[in-house]
């Protein structure tokens, strides 16, 4: 009867962080170790940093996978260097349409789509591998040091 109660009480007491004193219970057979209650004997717990996903949101692109194009400052257009964006030039005193940009004053930026380029840090996925668990999603249980067992004595 005492044994049965102990088997039930001991893991609960350990889970609550209560120090179990076995002194004076010499007649009761206490096992050397029990299954670790923190990791349920697996020796691993979910990585708290990435919540078990193995990846975290990329903070370079705020998780969107895309960042502002540095060539056009996110405008999607690059100013024509020939006419300084005006769309016309002076040819012998006559104002003529700029032949380089055909009067538009700017070009569509070739480096991006709508002023955005894909994030090189996360490869456009918007997620980065968790550095704490190296993308595994789980880390070694610190309570049992990865053994899955809690020593009782
Ligand atoms: Zn651009
Ligand atoms: Zn031009
Ligand atoms: Zn990114
Ligand atoms: Zn992680
Ligand atoms: Zn453990």
DSSP state of 113: B
Task: Say if 78 falls within a structural domain.
Answer: no
In angstroms, rounded to a whole number, what is the distance separating the alpha carbons of residues 15 and 32?
Answer: 17
Q: What is the pLDDT of residues 26-68, one digit of tens each?
A: 556 778 889 999 999 999 999 999 999 999 999 999 999 999 9
Domain membership flag for residue 148: yes
Q: Tell me the whole-structure pTM to 2 decimals.
A: 0.56
Residue 24 is assigned to a structural domain of this protein: yes
Cβ burial, residue 122 (10 Å; 0-12/13-18/19+): buried
**C-alpha 108 – ligand 3 centre gap (Å):** 24
- DSSP symbols for 67-107: EE-TTTTTSSEEE-TTTTTSSEEEETTEEEE-TTTTTSSEE
Q: How far is the CA of 147 from the centre of ligand 5 (A)?
A: 7
Q: How many domains does one find in the chain?
A: 1
Residue 1: which domain range? 1-44+141-153
With 50 as the cut, is the pLDDT of residue 19 above it? no
Query: If you measure from the C-alpha of residue 79 to the centroid of ligand 1, how many angstroms do you get, rounded to a whole number?
Result: 11
28 part of a folded domain? yes
Specify if 4 maps to a domain.
yes
pLDDT, averaged across the chain: 87
With CA atoms as reference, report the closest residue to 35 among 149, 153, 136, 151.
149
In a domain, residue 22? The reply is yes
Does 61 fall in a domain?
Answer: no
């Amino acid at each position: 009867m005492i044994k049965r109660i102990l088997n039930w009480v001991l893991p609960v007491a350990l889970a609550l962080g209560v120090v179990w004193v076995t002194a004076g219970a010499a007649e009761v057979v206490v096992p050397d170790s029990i299954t670790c209650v923190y990791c349920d004997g697996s020796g691993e717990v979910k990585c708290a940093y990435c919540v078990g996903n193995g990846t975290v949101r990329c903070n370079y692109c705020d998780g969107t996978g895309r960042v502002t194009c540095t060539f056009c400052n996110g405008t999607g257009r690059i100013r024509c260097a020939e006419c300084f964006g005006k769309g016309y030039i002076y040819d012998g005193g006559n104002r003529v349409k700029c032949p380089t940009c055909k009067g538009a004053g700017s070009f569509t930026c070739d480096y991006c789509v709508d002023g955005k380029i894909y994030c090189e840090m996360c490869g456009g996925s918007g997620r980065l591998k968790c550095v704490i668990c190296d993308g595994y999603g789980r880390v070694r249980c610190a309570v049992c040091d990865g053994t899955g067992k809690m020593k009782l004595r």
